[in-house]
Amino acid sequence: MDALLKGLPLDYLAACDFQKTGKTWQAILPAASLVRAAERLLAADYFVEDISALDCVEGYVVTYHFAHFHKPGRVALRVIAPHDAPSVPSIAGIFQGAEWHERETRDFHGVVFQGNPNFIPLLIDPDMADCFPLRKDPKSRARMRDILEAGEVVHCGPGFGLMTPDAPAEAQASSQSEAAAGDKATA
């Protein structure tokens, strides 16, 4: 997986215990790397299984599960979308089946998938389209590192400590929001 994602900006890459987690690799990457990572997985004969989100202290952890057509190995790509403007790029142009999963994730969490070609409510009544039943009260949110298995770390980007036990999630989330704001200002 390290070779497959080589050259892409990554925040975190870890090998996982398949028996314990149901996946062999997980990567946390900036939203700007998602489409290129999905293109590489498609070229390597992976398919998207599902897309979901977790409402954590750090933001919405949008998770994409991929599996391979011909060999064992399940991969999770994760992107953290901030609570104040949860948005990530759509991969429906790469994996057509992602459209349905993106719409479902938007229905339940309010995450916007920029570029989804059919972004109308899927399971929620259109009259209730701004009611997101899986959003949590801020006091009920858990830290990402307390929910997700860290795995065996292969790469951890500079300043990325969300999966380490000694980094306070609130400080990491605010530094990520500041970095994202700086990225938007330079774009």
Give the start-to-end residue ranges of the domains of the chain.
12-181
- Hey, what are 120's tokens? 């109308």
Mean pLDDT throughout 24-30? 94
Three-class SS state of 106: helix
Average pLDDT, the chain: 84
Please check whether the domain covering 12-181 is classified as CATH 3.40.50.1370: no
- What's the whole-model pTM score? 0.83
Task: Report the distance separating Cα 46 and Cα 67, nearest Å.
Answer: 5
Q: Quick count: other Cβ atoms within 10 Å of Cβ 32? A: 15
pLDDT digits (tens, 9 = 90+) for 126-174: 666 576 766 788 899 899 888 888 899 999 988 888 886 654 444 444 4
- The confidence band for 73, taking pLDDT boundaries of 50, 70 and 90, is confident
Closest CA to 90 of 122, 116, 70: 116
